[in-house]
Amino acid sequence: MIIQNKRVLLTGASGGIGSELAIALANKGAKLVLLDRDAVALESLASKLTSMGADVRQIIADLSNTSVIADVIDEAVACFDGLDILINNAGILDFSLYENISSARIALTMQINTIAPMLLANALLPLFKRKGSGLILNVGSTFGSIGFAHYAPYSASKFAIRGFSQALRRELVGSGVSVLYVAPRATTTSLNNDSSVDLMHKQGTKMDSPQVVASKMIEAIEKERAETYIGQPESFFARLNALFPKLVDMGLKAKTLEARALFKK
């Protein structure tokens, strides 16, 4: 797909990956509808992109509120008289013992990471199918293929969005609408708290910059690659986990015990 002049709705636009992806899309000549709940950060990003010559609109919305979804799509479509690409990038995560996470936080994680992307796609699909073209990119995670200790709600939400992406892609075959899934590994963004970052450094976990992740997403869009897994050996272990999960259990045991010790301090 040629990105130039494509009308793009990007959620979670002001975050680490989101802001770098917005810049990368702007450099490719996309027309951007940026969505985030942080009005100040969104305005700052929009100003930067405008100074680069990008055509940018802003939508301030909280995707934890299901009732805003239809209005978000209507507003996004009205910005440029249509949309060509939906990028479901907004997300939250927690590094914690599962029993310490509140029920409200568990529900919020599933809402932001899974339900909102599904509802946005649902609301936009009639438009895409009428014009016989469109692209939906769902941002997943390596943890959407490997259930990782102390990230249980996040892993569950990303497993779900991976399954949704696969099922919807198969449903839309021949429609002209593409559904892509991109799974970054650990990334240097504010989603990761200090404890999790310290542990990753201690265990030798590789982390990508948001710029690297954004470039991989641009490549996935341009090549309309159905699934993209970023980084090695994480991509290998994601596939290994599907075939031999007990091997991955054993491989992660020491790291899990090391992480568990953090919560006893």
Nearest to 25 by CA among 39, 46, 44, 41: 46
Give the Cα separation of 85 and 246 in Å (integer). Answer: 39
Exposed (0-12), middle (13-18) or buried (19+): which is 250, by Cβ within 10 Å?
A: exposed
Q: Which of 98, 151, 154, 229 is catalytic?
A: 154
Q: Strands, E, within 45-128: which ranges? A: 55-60, 85-88
Nearest to 150 by CA among 263, 41, 49: 263
Nearest to 30 by CA among 6, 2, 58: 6
Show Cβ contacts of residue 244 under 8 Å, excluding neighbours closer than 6 positions. none
Classify the phi-psi angles of 125: left when phi > 0, otherwise alpha if psi is within -120 to 50, otherwise beta: alpha
Classify the phi-psi angles of 168: left when phi > 0, otherwise alpha if psi is within -120 to 50, otherwise beta: alpha
Give the Cα separation of 85 and 133 in Å (integer). Answer: 9
Coil, strand or helix at 8: strand
For 173, the token pair is 């075959």
Cα 66–68–71 angle (5° rounding)? 140
- 154 has catalytic annotation: yes
Active site residues: 154
